[in-house]
Structure 1
Amino acid sequence: MNDVQNSTTPRAARVGDPIRVPRTAARIGIARRDITPPVGIRAKNWGPADWERSEGAHRPFTLTALAVIASDDRPRMLLAVDGTWWRRVADEQGVRGAILDGLGLDAEQLILSLSHTHAGAVLCAADAHLPGGELIPGYLEALAAAGIEAGREALDAAKPGLIEWTTGRCTLAANRELDLDGRALVGYNPAASADDTVTIGRVSIDGAVTATLVNYACHPTTLAWQSREVSPDYVGAMREIVEQATDAPCLFVQGASGELAPREQYTGDVAVADRHGRSLGHAVMAALDSLPVPGAELTLDSVVESGAPLAIWAAQAAEGGAVASESMTSVELPLRDLPTLDELAEEWRDIDPRSRDERLGRARNLRDGYITGPTVQHPVWAWRLGDAVIVGHPGEAYSRLQTRLRTRFPETPIVVMNLTNGPGFVYLPTREAYQRGAYQAWQTPLAAGALELLEEHVIAVVSELVEQRPL
């Protein structure tokens, strides 16, 4: 911790004082590939859907690589991918493993983060026998190839640059835990609050913006079973707003959004998704426009006597942000008493067959690879990049994970990513969600208390990273 973090009494301002802009100083490269799923691929992600093959694309899907080579000369690669979720461990390991081999990276050097759109291709090779499923294995191979190509290009193009960190506010995300007549529903709860923080990294080289990293927690569930086109959901229009304004790629990574989603959702109207994306895009631009020019921070420069004594703040060159380190760990999480598949089929016998088959398929896939014993070893990746920390894990944690981290480390920009490097449908709900019988609590194999164990583990990991001094 630095002196500012430990101080309880702010000192008086002095000429020469800066308003610190947290930063990452490194060699940085950006590259992108189009990964729009082919027409006809299996895209049945909702139980009520009476169709299985996509019939087009609302907006392009992208894979964007951010290569960061900091003062330790060790490459770190973030791949921001428009995608649904991994339904099997084997598929995620196959894609990420191929990218690791293709780029010659160790496991701790790569973070692959899915946006979690619910209107994308099914990422499950085990569904190859179903309508549209014959296209899935080829699409997974194409994803891996795109990751390798973009990763190589980003590494080869890396030049000295900066990532400057800031936050904004966006009210798109709302609490989605509604109780109606004693039943726990998944939908907007107007009586509850939601985390509205947007964490933003502005990437620049030689003073020119080359990319924007956006981290926001909100389920991309605007579009549901009524739409037969694949779509990045609100992320697509958000990206368009930011990229048109900055003339540079925008990377989106999904935050800890287990209980967060748009108020208006479950529709087939793509105009609603675009409206949601514009709201987030304008929030991002408002935050970016509040920053000084790349490479600078505001400094109290002088006092000018006018009708009033005027404090003059001017942009001056800043330094620092070169330290880098990484951590790849796991935390042991408890499992619920899991019913057998036959017991689940009996429990769900009265719901419509399409929805029952969807639920049973997810339960079957989850037991294949993630659950290997009486507890689960849940992996966590963490990077310190200068003044910021990036944390990723493969589950769907509630937003308490990120709000606790920000409270614990108020001076450190922290990017928190769900759906990273592993199966993406393992919820980590609060204890209260278990008590009210929330969908996330009865769907997950994890027992109550798993979220709290993950939080304590991540806090310890981040503590160790931020206490390291600059090189």
Structure 2
Amino acid sequence: MVSLHDRVTVPGFRGLAGVARRDVTPPVGIRARNWGPADWNASQGTHRAMTLTAIALAQAPGTTPSHRTPDGVAHPEQVGAPDGVAQPEQVGAPDGATHPERPTHERPGAPRAEPLVMITVDATWWRRVDDERGVRDAVLAGLGLPPERLLISLSHTHAGPVLCSHDADLEGGELVPAYLEHLAAQAVDAGREAVASLAPATLEWTTGRCSLAADRELILGAGGSHGEPVDTTSAGAGATADATEDLGTPVIGFNPSVPRAATDDTVVIGRLSRVEPAAGEPLPTTTPLATIVNYACHPTTLAWQNTLVSPDYVGAMRDLVEESTGAPVAFFQGASGELAPREQYTGDVAVADRHGTSLGLAVLAALAELPPPGTALELTRVVQSGAPLGVWEPRPVEGSRVLRAVSDAVVLGLRDLPTLAQMEAEWADIDPRSRDERLRRARNLRDGYVTGPSVEHPTWVWQIGDGFLVAHPGEAYSRFQRTVREHAGDRPVVVANLTNGPGFVYLPTDEAYVRGAYQAWQSPLAPGSLARLEQHATNLIDTLAATTPAQTSTEDQ
């Protein structure tokens, strides 16, 4: 039953925030050949600006400090430990394995924890472990942050510069090492500005819907339905069946047999606003600071025909939202392993802009439904008219002040991997340029990452007030974000692929392995890896939620 003065609150965070933006558009002529069929190597121009956005969050003075490890590597505390001290078995490792580092707690009187800094970049994907590590280490050192408090997340455009310093001997590749240094320097500069501008702010979460993303696991030939798995377990790592055979041919393209209702169309949106008390006014004075957008859809609109560097659909979405709000957009690519636009693989930038408009309008529609920043709707009175009318009005509230971060790796098994020579032999009949691109990717992916029978896949979980941010380096299927969000219940969750590293690999469903999907044979990970990552991430969420200090939020009554 509802009573007078009941409130409907918006999940959010109240603390300190700062924002900074940098233009990281690369020079014309940089290597940007991301597609096998491309008959060019170096970019010939720019479609829209490539940007880097830094958002810093911190707890306000006087807030109960968050728990973290002093050595810079955060690990989840054991749920249920009555004394708040970690026990021998680490929570969050689905195999029950123990780890050498153990968490400690900040004690009363300790300095307030370092800020959390998220940096989103219009960029493709990391080809090699050493390039990602070099950039992130430089940013960590420049900002003086422990590893669990920094996220560098890539939008995954397929029309950007190749982020691989080992391509320096190829056309346009000579510009890449300097560009990577430029990215690191701009990230440090923006991060410092964001931290220096920390001031009282509120971050509020809402959810929208956008039907841009569609299933991209298409099977041609007999059995050509996503819902009817075909047995390709006898095929090699890169082998596909002939289209005339009963197995069908798995390809990456829009699959119309999957209904829209089966595709995750969730857009998670964060509205970040500066909050200042207004003397004599019932509501605070607020200024837009940033909009966080989290959506799962491969930016593969622009393909081998396009010679322009472009953020793909993210660019038009960002420009539309920023024009309306007057504040920067930070975009997090969601769990989009099997999701992409229906219309893609084109050189027409107008198609990418149209896709971005679709997502941008969805973001603006969701923002329009929110009450003013820093408020909740309160049932203030009943007015008698032709019928009794319940009046809900915005009233100031103080949101949750919890801000915590944890990082931990889950051990994932590897499938039986063919040698590079075997892969080259299997791909002998395809276009030589496409074959060389596949082999180069496979070589870069394994170097420094596949060093034994298993790999450690890092995961970051932040608790930001009432919500969570879950990030990892791979390309998980959308089941990952569905599972994590269902587990979190009514708490909003940003789920980010392509964040930090190492582990720039697909995490498909087990069914994708059976279908012989590209994502499955391209990944070195064994079936079951997605389920292990899901369990690991939900365990980390549970750990943070269970160890949150009791006195962390207040509300004006």
Q: Bin the TM-score by the shorter chain.
A: over 0.9
Q: Does 1:187 align with 2:256?
A: no
Kindly report which structure 2 residues correspond to 1:256-271, keeping only aligned pairs within 5 A, or say none: 256-271=335-350
Q: Distance in 2 between matches of 1:118 and 1:22?
A: 34
Q: Does 1:355 align with 2:434?
A: yes
Cα RMSD after superposing both structures: 0.9
Q: Secondary structure at the match of 1:134?
A: helix
Q: Does 1:450 align with 2:439?
A: no
Q: 2:514 aligns with which of 435, 439, 446?
A: 435
Name the residue aligned to 1:7: none
Q: Distance in 1 between matches of 2:434 and 2:551?
A: 53
Name the residue aligned to 1:254: 333
Cα deviation, residue 424, structure 1: 6.5
Q: Secondary structure at the match of 1:178?
A: strand
Q: Does 1:341 align with 2:420?
A: yes
Q: Distance in 1 between matches of 2:199 and 2:449?
A: 39
Name the residue aligned to 1:118: 158
Q: 2:269 aligns with which of 200, 219, 233?
A: 200
Structure-2 change in CA distance of 1:424 and 1:40 (3 Å): farther
Contact 2:380 2:391 in 1 (8 A): yes
Amino acid at match of 1:410: G
Q: Does 1:399 align with 2:465?
A: no
Q: Distance in 2 between matches of 1:406 and 1:137?
A: 38
Q: Distance in 2 between matches of 1:125 and 1:211?
A: 32
Q: 2:24 aligns with which of 11, 35, 58?
A: 35
Name the residue aligned to 2:207: 167
Q: Does 1:64 align with 2:40?
A: no
Cα deviation, residue 466, structure 1: 2.0
Amino acid at match of 1:242: V
Q: Secondary structure at the match of 1:224?
A: coil
Contact 1:87 1:424 in 2 (8 A): no
Decide which structure has the larger Cα Rg and report it.
2
Name the residue aligned to 1:217: 296
Contact 2:449 2:503 in 1 (8 A): no
- Once the two structures are superposed, residues 38-74 of structure 1 have per-residue CA deviations (whole angstroms, 9 ceiling, x without a partner) of 1000000000001000000100000000000124332
- Once the two structures are superposed, residues 3-59 of structure 1 have per-residue CA deviations (whole angstroms, 9 ceiling, x without a partner) of xxxxxxxxx111111111001112100001100011000000000001000000100
Cα deviation, residue 320, structure 1: 2.6
Q: Report the TM-score when normalising by structure 1.
A: 0.96
- Once the two structures are superposed, residues 387-433 of structure 1 have per-residue CA deviations (whole angstroms, 9 ceiling, x without a partner) of 11111100000001111111111211100000000256400000110
Contact 1:169 1:197 in 2 (8 A): yes
Contact 2:458 2:502 in 1 (8 A): no
Contact 2:143 2:192 in 1 (8 A): yes
Q: Distance in 1 between matches of 2:538 and 2:115?
A: 24
Q: Distance in 1 between matches of 2:485 and 2:496?
A: 14
Name the residue aligned to 1:19: 8
Name the residue aligned to 2:399: 320
Amino acid at match of 1:188: F
Contact 2:383 2:390 in 1 (8 A): yes
Q: Does 1:388 align with 2:467?
A: yes
Name the residue aligned to 2:371: 292
Amino acid at match of 1:219: H
Q: Distance in 1 between matches of 2:404 and 2:329?
A: 24
Q: 1:153 aligns with which of 193, 201, 204?
A: 193
Q: Secondary structure at the match of 1:161?
A: strand
Cα deviation, residue 470, structure 1: 4.4
Q: Distance in 2 between matches of 1:112 and 1:344?
A: 32
Q: 1:230 aligns with which of 287, 297, 309?
A: 309
Name the residue aligned to 1:4: none
Q: Secondary structure at the match of 2:46?
A: coil
Q: Which has the higher helix share?
A: 1
Amino acid at match of 1:191: S
Identity rate, percent? 61
Contact 1:75 1:109 in 2 (8 A): yes
